Amino acid sequence: MKHIIDRLFTVPNGLFVVLLLIQLLPGKATRIVDHPEYTVGLTLIFEVILLTASFSIKEKQSRQVFTDIIGFIYAFLILWVLVTAKFNLFGNAKGAIFPPPGAVFMRFVDDINTILDNVRYSLVLIFQGYMLGVVAAIPLGLFLGWHARVGAAAGYIAKFLSSISPIIYIPYAIVLLPTFRSASVFVIVVASFWPALASTMSGVLNVEKRIIDSGKALGLNRLTMLFRVILPASLPQIFIGCNQGLSVSFILLISAEMIGARSGMGYYVNTYADFGNYTSALAGVFVIGIVVTVITFLFNLLQRFLLKWKQ
């Protein structure tokens, strides 16, 4: 009984009640009309997730982190509702740039098909570019790291080149490659290639010497040594570069799409922003945030699975 009360009377649940109650306050007429039923609907979805989590996650610390995250989302929504729909702090002149949350969520629901099409376009593009970059970088990094002589020089070159923001390549890629799409893929290949290469090389160079001796003592041939010993031993380090490459790729893709694409999430946000439709633009921004978070989460699951042998 006590633990049920403990898990119900929490700060996030308190914020949930506050968020519902402030919807009852009289509002001001805003330039963009609020649709509080959408905010309430979203809040109820969050609360179902919150309650499920608080009674199903066994470990105390991860349960708290999870419910706290939703608590922060509630706090943010409360602030947003108060600043826009309830007090109209920006006035009607700037009101278009700061629409109330209900309006944004409604737009999201109404426009879901277009949004999903654009998400799909961006994801296919990033998947192609990222895979090409990483698949090229890891074997090359293994080879260069293993041949220390070539590797030492290549390491410095890789560090130098990876410090150049791949944004620089965008104009060249647009001029040199036939379509804007291929130019975007190229930029993502570059963005994911250098960090993956640099981290693979440093991973190989830092493999515990005793592990290499252990492999040599088994009389492993070169290929077996490289792919059954050096590769798995460097994997923790390789993942650092791949993580970095993934987040840079997303940032670059969205920026590239904002420059000249005809589809994709960056295009979606940019087009509406250009026409002063910030309700749609914000809906797109939230979708980008959610998509990137989900992809990062899945990537971390993969990482945890492949590195489950690590303490």
**Binding positions for another protein, rule: CB under 8 A:** 208, 210-211, 213-220, 228-229, 232-233, 235, 308-311
- Measured from the CB of residue 149, what is the shortest distance to another protein in angstroms? 17
Output 112 or 307, the one with its CB closest to another protein.
Answer: 307
Output 9 or 309, the one with its CB closest to another protein.
Answer: 309
- Measured from the CB of residue 196, what is the shortest distance to another protein in angstroms? 19
Rounded to whole angstroms, the Cα distance separating 131 from 123 reads 12
- Measured from the CB of residue 217, what is the shortest distance to another protein in angstroms? 4
Q: Shortest CA distance to 105 belongs to which of 291, 285, 297?
A: 285
Rounded to whole angstroms, the Cα distance separating 49 from 231 reads 39
Q: Say what angle helices 231-260 and 180-205 make with each other, to 10 degrees.
A: 160
Output 120 or 228, the one with its CB closest to another protein.
Answer: 228
CA dihedral 252, 256, 258, 259 (to 10 degrees): 140
Output 255 or 303, the one with its CB closest to another protein.
Answer: 303
- Measured from the CB of residue 222, what is the shortest distance to another protein in angstroms? 12
Q: Shortest CA distance to 238 belongs to which of 206, 204, 199, 201?
A: 199
Contacts of 164 (CB under 8 A, 6+ apart): none
- Measured from the CB of residue 211, what is the shortest distance to another protein in angstroms? 5
CB atoms within 10 A of CB 297: 10
Output 231 or 283, the one with its CB closest to another protein.
Answer: 231
- Measured from the CB of residue 238, what is the shortest distance to another protein in angstroms? 13
Rounded to whole angstroms, the Cα distance separating 119 from 288 reads 8
Burial category of 309 from C-beta neighbours within 10 Å (exposed 0-12, middle 13-18, buried 19 and up): exposed
